[in-house]
């Protein structure tokens, strides 16, 4: 834990990522102080370009784009971190249990994990969201959490297999420590960097996927979020009528948040890698975060 934090402070990528994330979090928290407008209310004439009155212009139905942007950040962050946490907890727990217990338990969990991995994720999410109908951010976060833990579980299991061979685990077993204690206090702390990468990767994935589902019109229209901003702007043909502020604002916000989190993720990976020479599973996982699931 200590070298991870020390490394993060010294790493330039981590610093930039941290600053981006911090700014977005602060803006989201301070939203009511930064704007007097209600993000859902009609406060001006439709599709006004940016002005002193409406810093980022207005939407097709006259809502203030800046107010929607900063209140929308709350939704994106909440869904991202909520779903990210759920994905990480599920993946880590299943991975450690499978890796440590071995035998039939391992076989059952691994089979289940591999099964979930080969079902295409986004199409399945689309179908689920459409069957539920007008999915609220909370529902989206829960669906994401329940369908996206498999990669984390696979990687955590592979790591657990190697940690379990270490002497300190053996000695804890000799001393008769209960199994749950070995898993939580002996094995888990040694997987912290993998869990960290899993968590940040999952947050990125959840934020992107929430925005994608909402952009495709599967979200709850009453939600104030970046995905709904994209959806409404696209529906109002913002691009073809030249209302660039309506559609580019959420685009840049999503891009910025994605870049900030990715920088953090790369940094954690860079710091953790020398200690984690497991090769294949690790590189597959990094590859996944960089080129894989997160990129929908």
CA–CA distance, 241 with 60 (Å, rounded to integer): 10
Pseudo-torsion of CA 184, 278, 109, 150, nearest 10°? Answer: 90
Compute the least distance from the CB of residue 251 to other proteins, in Å. 5
Are 156 and 276 within 8 A, CB to CB?
Answer: no
Please identify, using beta-carbon distances, which residue of 43 and 259 lies nearer to other proteins: 259
Should residue 204 be labelled a site residue for other proteins when binding is judged by CB under 8 A?
A: yes
Should residue 19 be labelled a site residue for other proteins when binding is judged by CB under 8 A?
A: no
Should residue 104 be labelled a site residue for other proteins when binding is judged by CB under 8 A?
A: no
What are 141's two structure tokens? 């976060």
Should residue 230 be labelled a site residue for other proteins when binding is judged by CB under 8 A?
A: yes
Adjacent-strand bridge partners of 219: 135
Instruction: Give the binding range for other proteins (CB under 8 A) out of 65-73, 97-105, 109-117, 170-178.
Output: 109-117
Instruction: Give the binding range for other proteins (CB under 8 A) out of 33-41, 55-63, 173-181, 205-213.
Output: 205-213
The residues in 263-292 that bind other proteins, with binding defined as CB under 8 A, are: 263, 266, 279-280, 283-284, 286-288, 290-292
Compute the least distance from the CB of residue 48 to other proteins, in Å. 19
Compute the least distance from the CB of residue 119 to other proteins, in Å. 5
CA–CA distance, 76 with 294 (Å, rounded to integer): 15
Residue with tokens 């502020």: 245
Contacts 24+ apart (CB under 8 A), 44-50: 47/236, 47/238, 47/241, 47/243, 47/246, 49/243, 49/245, 50/245
Are 90 and 153 within 8 A, CB to CB?
Answer: yes
CA–CA distance, 47 with 264 (Å, rounded to integer): 36
Please identify, using beta-carbon distances, which residue of 25 and 259 lies nearer to other proteins: 259
Are 191 and 277 within 8 A, CB to CB?
Answer: no
Please identify, using beta-carbon distances, which residue of 34 and 216 lies nearer to other proteins: 216
CA–CA distance, 83 with 87 (Å, rounded to integer): 6
Q: Binder to other proteins among 34, 122, 142, 146 (CB under 8 A)?
A: 122
Residues that bind other proteins (CB under 8 A): 111, 114-115, 118-124, 126-128, 130-132, 204, 208, 211-212, 215-218, 230, 234, 239-240, 242, 244, 247-248, 251, 254-255, 258-259, 261-263, 266, 279-280, 283-284, 286-288, 290-296
């Amino acid at each position: 834990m200590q070298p991870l934090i020390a490394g993060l402070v010294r790493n330039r990528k981590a610093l930039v990522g941290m600053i981006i994330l911090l700014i977005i979090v602060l803006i989201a928290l301070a939203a009511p102080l930064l704007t007097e407008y209600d993000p859902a209310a009609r406060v001006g004439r439709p599709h006004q370009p940016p002005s002193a009155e409406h810093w980022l212009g207005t939407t097709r139905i006259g809502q203030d784009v800046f107010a929607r942007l900063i209140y929308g950040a709350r939704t994106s962050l909440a869904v991202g971190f909520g779903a990210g946490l759920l994905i990480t907890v599920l993946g880590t727990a299943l991975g450690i249990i499978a890796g440590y217990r071995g035998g039939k338990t391992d076989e059952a969990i691994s089979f289940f994990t591999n099964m979930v991995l080969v079902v295409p994720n986004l199409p399945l999410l689309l179908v689920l969201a459409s069957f539920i109908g007008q999915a609220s951010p909370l529902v989206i976060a829960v669906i994401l959490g329940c369908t996206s833990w498999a990669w984390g579980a696979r990687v955590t299991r592979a790591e657990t297999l190697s940690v379990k061979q270490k002497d300190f685990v053996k000695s804890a077993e000799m001393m008769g420590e209960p199994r749950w204690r070995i898993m939580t206090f002996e094995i888990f702390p040694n997987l912290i960097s993998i869990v960290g990468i899993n968590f940040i990767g999952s947050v990125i994935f959840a934020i992107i996927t929430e925005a994608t589902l909402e952009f495709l019109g599967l979200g709850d229209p009453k939600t104030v979020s970046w995905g709904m901003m994209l959806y409404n702007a696209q529906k109002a043909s913002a691009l073809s009528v030249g209302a660039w502020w309506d559609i580019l604002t959420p685009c840049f916000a999503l891009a910025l948040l994605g870049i900030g989190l990715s920088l953090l993720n790369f940094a954690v990976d860079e710091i953790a890698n020398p200690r984690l020479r497991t090769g294949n599973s690790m590189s597959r996982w990094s590859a996944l975060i960089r080129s894989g699931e997160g990129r929908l």
